[in-house]
Structure 1
Amino acid sequence: MLLYRLLVSIFALWVLAGLVLRRDRTALRQRLAAGPAEPGPHLWLHAASNGELASARPLVDALRGARPDLPLLVTCNSPTGVALAQSWGLAARLAPLDLGWVARRMHRKWQVRGHIAMESELWPHRVLTCPGPVFVMGGRLTEGTARGWRLFGALQRRLLRRIAYVSAQDAGSLARYRAAGLPARAAGPVVDLKALYTPETRRDPALCATFDRRLTWLAASTHEGEEEVVLAAHLRARAEIPGLRLILAPRHPRRAEAVLRLIVETGLSCARRSLGQDPATAEVYLADTMGEMGLLYPLAGRIFIGGTLTDRGGHTPYEPAAYGAALLHGPDVANFRAPFARLDAAHAALQVASAEDLGAALIRLAPPDAQDALGGAAQAALRPEADAQELVRELTERLDAAG
């Protein structure tokens, strides 16, 4: 533990010095677990940033419903994560530095009854000084991280013996947790928290009336270099499927003007969502807005997952799969290797590498029953071992047992 204390102390000095130079008193106090705390006991949940926190939303909602008597305190390493938690009506602040005295102060001031660490955010002092049970949700332990822990001798084994429950996000992580010393009683189901995504219930009646799901496909979260492929594939498929409609949603709406030029150059008509233009007669609907994918997914029976024809590593298959759409993707799936491997093993998605491939796949999936069959297969392949309510039940049982 001596080596860890030395390294984390150096890191803390570097962080604190930066805050002092920026005269950010609020962040400085939060990093030291200073300042006022809300009264009463709390369950402390820590996520690295807004991405990890967003994936935990179903878990957060289930916890709030199951234990209204034990409010959540959320900490994140980034201000955007803090802002996201606050937008959900939660107490939130920047994560305290993992110094022993700071961790003890945090537990004491907020009357912490248990600690939930998301993914790989397992900080030794927070764990070892926690007065209640410690949980790891969506736990991720890569080969590289496992090797890094070995530099600290028996510290990792000591931490894992303190863990009450781990739900790993993949089988490899669970195996590495066990090899490192996780007690058998603490091993929970393998659940990638992103798989807990539930479809939005809100709908845009005007869009639903405009788009026939059987004749509409969506290119979701595309990046530079992919729109050309998408548009070429659309032209090819439309020659075989009269009335085929395309909804094109760039990952970054700021690229809308550049994408619009590409659409115009292909000779296709376009309506832009950000300008409120009517998509009824447009051949391409440019969805150049943020935070509206939940409105777009239900409109399409076929969805191409962007970022997979570039070097971006691809985007989540969980969300489009939740809407029962047939999934298409390119070969670059590094960011979501495990779920795409499950889709591949179950023949539950079609992989494409070019405009010709994508156009042919769209034609192959023209029959509505083909779209439904592939969409259903994707839902089945990505179904988690446990849902949010089951995970929360395990957590609350251990919290109650700890008193």
Structure 2
Amino acid sequence: MFLYRLLLTLLAPLIAGWFALRILQRKETWADLRERLGHGAVPTEAGRTFWVHGASNGELTSARRLIETLLERDADLRIVVTANSLTGRALATGWGHPRLTARLAPLDFRFCLMRFLSQCRPELLILLEGDLWPNRLVLTAARGASVAMISARISEKSARHWSRRPRLCRAIFGAVSLLSAQDAASETRFLSLGLQPEALAPRLTLKATVTLPQPDPALRARYARHFDRDATWLAASTHEGEEQQVIAAHLAARAARPGLRLILAPRHPRRGPEVAALLDSAGLDFATRSKGEDPGDAEVYLADTLGEMPLWYALSGACFVGASLVPKGGHTPYEPAQFGCAILHGTDLTNFAEQYARLEETHAAIQVTDGASLGAALGALTPDRCRSLAAAAHDALGLDAGPELPTLCDRLLSLSSAHASGVDDSRTQPVH
């Protein structure tokens, strides 16, 4: 821990400069920075407090059902949700739960964390997926709170990186009271890094518990007039380097299916202008959602907005899952499966390795290697084949957590914590 804290101290001026630049660029405010430094309103009412942290929108969206189940099972529980991003904070705030407070996560400096912990006084810290910050885990546990990692995953590359620092690993994973991994491989890696076997809980992938809301019926009906589902495919949550391949695939597929239309939804809407330039250079006729443009008869609809993925899934008979033709690990197959889309994906699938393995074993999805093979696969798809693939994916994945989630919530609520009986105030002073 000493070397980590020393490195963090040395990097402090660069980190301060980075956030000062974001404020000057009006990407954040001074109030946002104060939250990152550990200030900000937290629950003061009587009752238990849990701290739930997710890096950004994806993790928090997948954890919503977990959070709501915890609140339902304990009427006195209050939850502070933190995120690294402004959009993550806005997402949790938008849930509008009276016993939930959303804010930006404190930076991993000890003085920021101690200030936050002194105000929040959580009994339990729940970390979602894999956002590991050493001081956050160690200092929270040192104050008598329990630490749980839920839907945790770690890649082989990350595990090798952490294993080079065995003392740091022992400090981090020795602080974890409960860990529910996404898959067997992650479970094995966490154990090799120092997690105690008794901390293991049954595996759970939170994204499997997510049921996206159905799109607004009126909006869906309006757009359905423009999109024939059997002749529409969606490129969902694409990243830089994928849009070119998606465009090439669409052009190739159109040779076999002249009426085919594409809804292109980049993962980060801010990249809309960049993606629009690619479409323009390819000579494709397109309309842009963020500009309020009607799809009309445009060959491509650029869906560069947040929060509308259910609509695009509902309009599309087939879906290419992004982050899989570039080294990003692949996005969730659960969402397109929920909406009955035939699933196509690339070869980089580390984020959901077991789920995609099940899809492959049951021939419930189509794997492609590049734009050319994606175009060939799309060109050969028939409406009946799409429906067959969608039904097989639904069966292979399953879309409900069954009894696992409530059981896990009960275990989280019952975790023993010395914090419940009070904490020595001498331990709440900022540490530099």
Whether the TM-score (by the shorter chain) exceeds 0.5 is yes
In structure 2, do the counterparts of structure 1 residues 288 and 155 end up closer, same or farther at CA, with 3 Å as the change threshold?
A: closer
Aligned to 2:211: 198
How big is each residue's C-alpha offset from its partner over 1:72-121, in whole Å with a ceiling of 9 and x where there is no partner?
11223344433333333442333234455654443332231211112233
Measure the CA separation in 2 of the matches of 1:353 and 1:151. 33
Alignment of 1:307-346 (within 5 A): 307-309=323-325, 314-333=330-349, 337-346=353-362
TM-score, structure 1 as length reference: 0.80
Return 223-232 or 168-177, whichever deviates more: 223-232
1:39 aligns with 2:44: yes
Aligned to 1:174: 187
Aligned to 1:59: 66
In structure 2, do the counterparts of structure 1 residues 149 and 334 end up closer, same or farther at CA, with 3 Å as the change threshold?
A: closer
Instruction: Tell me if structure 2 keeps the 8 A contact 1:220–1:306.
Output: yes
Measure the CA separation in 2 of the matches of 1:94 and 1:39. 18
Amino acid aligned to 2:38: A
Deviation at 1:344, TM superposition (A): 2.5
In structure 2, do the counterparts of structure 1 residues 307 and 4 end up closer, same or farther at CA, with 3 Å as the change threshold?
A: closer
Amino acid aligned to 1:379: H
Instruction: Tell me if structure 2 keeps the 8 A contact 1:236–1:359.
Output: no
Measure the CA separation in 1 of the matches of 2:62 and 2:317. 24
Deviation at 1:334, TM superposition (A): 5.8
In structure 2, do the counterparts of structure 1 residues 235 and 148 end up closer, same or farther at CA, with 3 Å as the change threshold?
A: closer
Q: Extract unaligned runs of 5+ from structure 2.
A: 421-432
Match of 2:232 among 201, 213, 216: 216
Deviation at 1:375, TM superposition (A): 1.2
Give the fraction of aligned pairs with identical amino acids, expressed as a percent: 36
In structure 2, do the counterparts of structure 1 residues 75 and 220 end up closer, same or farther at CA, with 3 Å as the change threshold?
A: closer
Instruction: Tell me if structure 2 keeps the 8 A contact 1:211–1:299.
Output: yes
Aligned to 2:122: 112
Instruction: Tell me if structure 1 keeps the 8 A contact 2:81–2:102.
Output: yes
Alignment of 1:74-93 (within 5 A): 74-89=81-96, 90-93=100-103
1:277 aligns with 2:294: yes
Measure the CA separation in 2 of the matches of 1:359 and 1:143. 31
Instruction: Tell me if structure 2 keeps the 8 A contact 1:195–1:318.
Output: yes
Measure the CA separation in 2 of the matches of 1:32 and 1:359. 49
Deviation at 1:126, TM superposition (A): 3.2
Measure the CA separation in 2 of the matches of 1:247 and 1:352. 17
Deviation at 1:229, TM superposition (A): 2.0
Match of 1:73 among 69, 73, 80: 80
Instruction: Tell me if structure 1 keeps the 8 A contact 2:147–2:177.
Output: yes
* Partner SS state of residue 112, structure 1: coil
Instruction: Tell me if structure 1 keeps the 8 A contact 2:140–2:147.
Output: yes
Amino acid aligned to 2:299: V
Instruction: Tell me if structure 2 keeps the 8 A contact 1:219–1:246.
Output: no
Measure the CA separation in 2 of the matches of 1:148 and 1:311. 18
Amino acid aligned to 1:129: A
Amino acid aligned to 1:128: A
Aligned to 2:155: 142
